[in-house]
Amino acid sequence: MRVLMFGWEFPPYISGGLGTACFGITEGLSRLGTEIVFVLPRQKGNIHESHVRLITANDVPLHEKSETDPFARAVTFRHVESDLIPYAGTGRARTVVMGGISAAGKSSHGTWDLSDDYGSDMLLDAARYGRTAGIIAKEETFDVIHGHDWMTVHAGLEARRFSGRPYIYHVHALEFDRSGENINRRVYEIERQGLESADHVISVSHYTKNMIIERYGINPEKITVVHNAVSRNEVCKRARGGKTTDHKTVLFLGRITFQKGPDYFIEAAARVLEKVPSAVFVMAGSGDMMPRMVERVARMKMGRQFHFTGFIKGEEVERIYAMSDLYVMPSVSEPFGITPLEAMLFDVPVIISKQSGVSEILNHALKVDFWDVNELSNKIIAVLTYPALVKEMTDRSREEIAKIQWNAAAEKIVSVYRRICG
Amino acid sequence: MPSVCCYFQVHQPPRHRHFTFFDIDKGVAYEDEETNMQILKKVAEKCYLPANRIMLELIREYKKEFRIAFSITGVVLEQMQKINPDVLDSFKRLADTGCVEFLNETYYHSLASVYSIREFREQVELHKIRIRELFGQNPKTFRNTELVYNNDLARTVEKMRYKAILAEGADHVLGWRSPNHVYQPLGCKKIKLLLKNYRLSDDIAFRFSNRQWPEYPLTAEKYAHWIHQMNNGDVINLFMDYETFGEHQWKDTGIFDFLRAFPGEVLKHPDFRFQTPIEVVTENEPVAQLDIPNYISWADMERDLTAWIGNPMQTDAISVLYGMEKQVRRKKNAGVLDIWRRLQTSDHFYYMCTKWFADGDVHKYFNPYQSPYDAYINYMNILADFDHTLKGKGLYHGSR
């Protein structure tokens, strides 16, 4: 099976779970003998790409004018076949990079500024990304198109138009997860169009599947649930055992945005500190709500027990997991949520919101409604107070996490491919 | 003449309310009276009342040849008195027939036998008094909570002058032996041991409505035929939860029709009859001594104590609880003693079991908590509150 896959991020340059998930999925798929051409919108720095062939869309030449008229587009794409062409908007000549990412890697300039990646230009970026997809679709041979999230919907549909191959839309998050009821209508429209047009939809949880059915009116039979998993790496073992003994550390790790529920974490921290004054709370990550959250902590006079780390990545993430006694994911709406699985790899007990996809597959995590601050505080205190609880949770979690493998997810995805390709 | 010996367990645990760390030291009650009332009413409607009606009819119909035994815990008797006196009355009417034996157990359906012999004896005595008061019988047969049993327990119970004790006919203690005889516990002279025939018991209790079971649907005729096939045995002990009838197996499974037809089908064979446990041990001598040094019970595949004290949370909770005994007794306060004892009901620990949690089975069905962790947290918060009550402390200062 050959797959043309459209993504938005890939490790180590990630700002959320999407890149992590794409890495795991492609790793699992390639182990099952699937050939994957993975297309990214742009590329800076070295990518972990041992198991996929990577193409970056900003290396694909294209004419800006091709946007409106399908016929004009086709003309433009034909144009692509020459080796040198002015890159849209820049005037610089670029070659099509088809042989992997090494060339792109060499021309890298540091890292992405991740906080900008999901910024206001995304709609434009996604549209531009979509236009290059047709060209790539023409150059590549593949059996199925697999796109991750709304940013790749244009690309997926465009690739289908050029190739006639079936298009699978893999939903990792929806606009309602990110924004609650105040959705961006244009993003919603792209999602709806993608869901309606796709030959099949993969959702990362039943939670998300239900949302696709209820909010977008999609036929349930068209949707297959494939839960995410977690990749193990050697660093986990090295970083273990960094816990301090004089106080307990409670961790929040994720974008500090509405979706992740950072405010509930702070409210709970205040309640916990009334009963366990020595506890320490850490909020790792960055996001649009961060200034307000810092202010709130200051106003509640918890500054001494509550720390913000800003955005962290790589080894820093591992170190912070290893030094934590409890991981809390109070997300308001979490289609899946890989971070609790990562925390479990470090023997850290986890509390997750019931409004998450990952809660469907975890038995040995504590679960709360995100809005129930009283219960969240109660459970945080319990983990900090009752060692037998921690012992049982971590022992059982170790068994449970061993069974959560990307291979299983990949097998389900392959069976979707088979079904769709007939 | 072989007999069929039916004993039914009647029990409802006192369920706890949601008790958070913030409820500690606030004088909040532990039990959820509303839920307890609703559950008892529901189970009374679905099981106790209709099943008792049928039992009474059957005893009359078969002119006292249908004979059964009940063990009803003290905690559920209290609830019945308070909430459903008509249920209690229906049991009394059964007692009046002279065909029903009432067994003795720990009043609080506790695991006291494992942790405190003094406490165990006192709870058994309390239960004995209550049975005498309500049903006018002086029980001579003992059954321990969840059929928890070993040699030491048998000796203790023998000293308490019981004539019979019940246990699970677990394969790993019986080996090649049959559960269909009367045994003597190792080291005992008088008391006799009756062992549950778990295959035949569980055919009704667990498999009756299972459509995947090759024997489905189970008719009374077929079931009686299996009983009649027994050769060389003295007794077939059918021990199960009374809630099997109408609550675990719902009415629409046909369980009541089965029950109605059951005695008639068994008695069709002239060699077979019904007897209560005390009648069985009075007429039969033990065929052998049975050495059971380690605890057995009737729970799960393991038939041991791991459903209640198998993981660190369970052992932590139960040792903290029994560790309070001295302090509780020093209070010399009947109310405090009762609260402590109600915390001993074995179900509280069963809810914390993680053994089969991931597979989702019988444990989940009986668990009012969303997870064993929630059960443990709730229980430990309650124990912390109770501990403060004992110590007369006003405020809790965290874990350090």
Pair (A194, A271) in one structural domain: no
For chain A, list residues with pLDDT below 50.
63-119
| Residue B318, domain extent | 312-391
**How many domains is chain B partitioned into structurally?**
2
Taking alpha carbons only, the member of B49, B31, B104 closest to residue B73 is B104
Residues of B involved in catalysis: 146
- A210 and A306: one domain? no
- Contact flag A363-B22 (C-beta cutoff 8 Å): no
Residues B379 and B284 in one domain: no
A71 found inside a domain: no
Q: Identify the CATH number of the domain in which residue B43 sits.
A: 3.20.110.20
Q: Is A254 in the same domain as A186?
A: no
Our CA-based measurement puts residue B148 at a distance from the nearest CA of chain A, in whole angstroms, of 25
Dihedral sign for Cα atoms in the order A289, A292, A297, A300: negative
Residue A314 forms part of a structural domain: yes
Average pLDDT, chain B: 94
Residue B236, H or E segment: strand B235-241
Angle at A100 between CA A99 and CA A106, to 5 degrees: 110
Read off the pLDDT of residues A383-406 as tens digits, 9 standing for 90 and up. 999 999 999 999 999 999 999 999
Tokens representing residue A10 in the block: 């890939």
CA-nearest residue to B356 within chain A is: A363
Count of CB atoms situated within 10 Å of the CB of A177: 24
B168 phi and psi angles, rounded to 5 deg: -80, 140
Query: Is residue A180 domain-shared with residue A256, that is, in the same domain?
Result: no
Q: Is B319 on the interface with A (CB under 8 A)?
A: no
A283: containing domain: 234-402
B344-358 pLDDT, tens per residue?
999 999 999 988 665
B222-236 burial string, b = 16+ CB within 10 Å, else e?
ebbeebeebeeebbb
Q: Do A374 and B20 touch (CB under 8 A)?
A: yes
Q: For A386, phi and psi rounded to 5 degrees?
A: -110, 100
H/E element, B168: strand B164-168
Nearest chain B residue (CA) to A399: B358
Rounded Cα distance, A104 and A330, in Å = 38
Residues B55-84, mean pLDDT to the nearest whole number: 96
Strand intervals (E) in A81-143: 85-86, 93-94
Q: What is the DSSP string of B323-380?
A: TTHHHHHHHT-HHHHHHHHHTTBTHHHHTT--TTTTT-SHHHHH--SSSHHHHHHHHH
Q: How many CB pairs under 8 A join A and B?
A: 76
Token pair listed for B334: 């009947």
Cβ atoms of A39 and A9 closer than 8 Å: no
Average pLDDT over residues B190-218: 96
Q: CB of B20 within 8 Å of any CB in chain A?
A: yes
The size of chain A, in residues, is 422
For residues A119 and A262, state if they share a domain.
no
C-alpha to C-alpha distance for A11 and A393, rounded to whole angstroms: 30
Residue ending a domain, among B256, B290, B324, is: B290
Nearest Cβ partner of A379 from B312, B358, B377? B377
Q: Do residues B279 and B66 lie in contact, with contact meaning Cβ atoms separated by under 8 Å? A: no
pLDDT reported for residue A402:
92
Cα-Cα-Cα-Cα torsion A236, A344, A250, B399, nearest 10 degrees, comes to -110
Q: Do B21 and A385 touch (CB under 8 A)?
A: yes
C-beta atoms of B354 and A391 within 8 A: no
Asked if B324 and B390 touch (Cβ cutoff 8 Å), the reply is yes
Do residues A317 and A384 share a domain?
yes
Query: Within this chain, do residues B23 and B165 fall inside the same structural domain, yes or no?
Result: yes
Cross-strand pairs, B259: none
CA separation (Å) from A45 to A48, A106, A311, A342?
10, 7, 18, 24
Q: Are residues A333 and A413 in the same domain?
A: no
B73 touches chain A (CB under 8 A): no
Whether B255 and B220 map to the same domain: the answer is yes
Name chain B contacts of A400, Cβ cutoff 8 Å.
358
* Cβ–Cβ gap A392/B370 under 8 Å: no
Q: Specify the range with the lowest mean pLDDT, choosing from A111-120, B261-270, B382-391.
A: A111-120
The verdict on residue B397 lying in a domain is no
Q: Let me know whether A213 and A243 are in one domain.
A: no
Do A389 and A242 sit in the same domain of this protein?
Answer: yes
Q: Both A328 and A241 in a single domain?
A: yes
Residue B300 lies in a domain: no
Q: Are residues B214 and B356 in the same domain?
A: no
Q: What is the pLDDT of residue A50?
A: 65
Diameter of chain B measured on Cα atoms: 71
Q: By mean pLDDT, which of A54-68, B103-117, B262-276 is the weakest?
A: A54-68
Q: Indicate if B46 and B149 belong to the same structural domain.
A: yes
Q: Do B70 and B208 belong to one domain?
A: yes
Q: Left, alpha or beta for A408 (phi > 0: left; psi -120 to 50: alpha)?
A: alpha
Half-sphere CA count of B305, side-chain side, radius 13 A: 20
Q: Considering the domain boundaries, does residue B275 fall inside one?
A: yes
Q: Are residues A127 and A207 in the same domain?
A: yes
The total of structural domains in chain A comes to 2
Dig out the tokens for A20 from the structure: 């992590």
Chain A residues closer than 8 Å to B21 by CB:
275, 377-378, 381-382, 385
The CA distance from B90 to B49, in Å, is 7
Please report the pLDDT score of residue A238 as a whole number: 53
Element (H, E) at B49: helix B49-61
Q: Chain A residue closest to B315 (CA)? A: A388
Q: How far, in Å, CA of B1 to CA of B197, rounded?
A: 18
Least CB-CB distance to B357: which of A276, A363, A366?
Answer: A363
Degrees to nearest 5, angle at CA A253 with A248 and A256:
125
Which secondary-structure segment (H or E) carries B75?
helix B74-83
Task: State whether residue B323 sits within 8 Å of chain A by CB.
Answer: no
- Within 8 A of B320 by CB-CB distance, chain A residues are none
Same domain, B358 and B211: no
Radius of gyration for chain B, computed over Cα atoms and rounded to the nearest angstrom = 21
Residue of A nearest to B359 (CA): A363
Identify the pLDDT of residue A77: 20
> DSSP 3-state assignment of B235?
strand
Q: Are residues B193 and B225 in the same domain?
A: yes
CATH code, domain carrying A295: 3.40.50.2000
In this structure, is residue B375 part of a structural domain?
yes
Q: Do A385 and B399 touch (CB under 8 A)?
A: yes
Q: Chain B residue closest to A354 (CA)?
A: B370
Q: Are residues A184 and A252 in the same domain?
A: no
pLDDT of residue B399: 33
Whole-angstrom distance, CA of residue B395 vs CA of residue B186: 51
- Best of A326, A344, A381 to disrupt the B interface (most B CBs within 10 Å) is A381
> Are B386 and B272 part of one and the same domain?
no
Is B396 within a domain? no
- Residue B94: is its pLDDT beyond 90? yes
- Residue whose tokens read 């909040």: B28
Q: Which of A336, A6, A320 is nearest to A163 (CA)?
A: A6
First-last CA distance in chain A? 12
